[in-house]
Amino acid sequence: MSPLISATDLDALLASGAPVRLLDVRWRLDRPEGRPDYVAGHLPGAVYVDLDRELSRRGEPQDGRHPLPAAADLEAAARRWGVRAGDTVVAYDDVQSVAAARAWWLLSRSGVADVRVLDGGLRAWTAAGLAIETGDVRHAAGDVQLHDIADGAIGLDAAAVWPDSGVLLDVRAAERYRGDTEPMDPRAGHIPGAVNLPTTLHLDGGRFRDLASIAASFAAAGAVPGTAVAAYCGSGVTAAHTALAGALAGLDIAVYPGSWSQWSNTRGRPVATGPTPSGRVEPD
């Protein structure tokens, strides 16, 4: 089953009466508080999900900017959203599905069997002429049970040695990878041995590219089936988007949630600058 769902397919699924919980995960770096936009218009029945407070937790700088929430806290949040055992959960946002992918990755790795992302997000929904509603939606408490992420998340030490036996993807913009600029974190550059593959290469007009194009982008960076692949970004959000793209291409990509924000705030960790290592393709 694809982790993506189109607007028309979602509309049909909702019309069928299937148990679906819609999550509006609007968030972006320059506007992290998405609730006002949610209240102004969202998919019918969708609940607002706060990425900063519910899909991450507060931490120290050395934890990174978006540390993973505790399983009990994520479960409590999912129950507030009304998620019940057996529900199909569909997450969406309005900026290239980056925030929605964080919800997809967290929930699917924590025990929700059927989590999907609305391809193209809110814009695809409205472009299809489908209805939206205003105001705040609250559902009766759900009963979903979640667990700690046991597979698919790696820590700082694992990220350090990952290039020795696999491919570590830095999915930030090329200029941040090279160390030309660093607008968010204390040091510029990348984890030594990491290969640059900006997650935006998997998109076309806000939707995911065809599977052959996505697979080709991964292959150019050395990420092919049978290879151990992990991804990091600035704070672990965009890396989940790359994990979603990888799932479309048949790759099981681990995520380093601490990402560059943790690495650059940890004393003694080396920093590399410049282009992708020789022999790899640096998409730009």
CA pair distance 47, 136, nearest whole angstrom = 7
CA pair distance 217, 222, nearest whole angstrom = 9
Distances in Å between the Cα of 101 and the Cα atoms of 169, 220, 235, 243 are 17, 23, 13, 8
Distance of CA 227 to the CA centre of its chain: 21
Distances in Å between the Cα of 76 and the Cα atoms of 24, 70, 83, 248 are 17, 10, 10, 29
Catalytic one of 233, 243, 244, 248: 233
The strands making up 229-232's β-sheet, listed across from edge to edge, are 195-196, 167-170, 229-232, 253-255
What does the block give as tokens for 70?
A: 């505790």
Nearest to 67 by CA among 78, 77, 79, 52: 52
Q: Catalytic site residue 233? A: yes
Residue 226 CB burial class (10 angstroms; 0-12, 13-18, ≥19): exposed
CA pair distance 47, 64, nearest whole angstrom = 27
3 state SS of 61: helix
Q: Which residues carry out catalysis?
A: 233
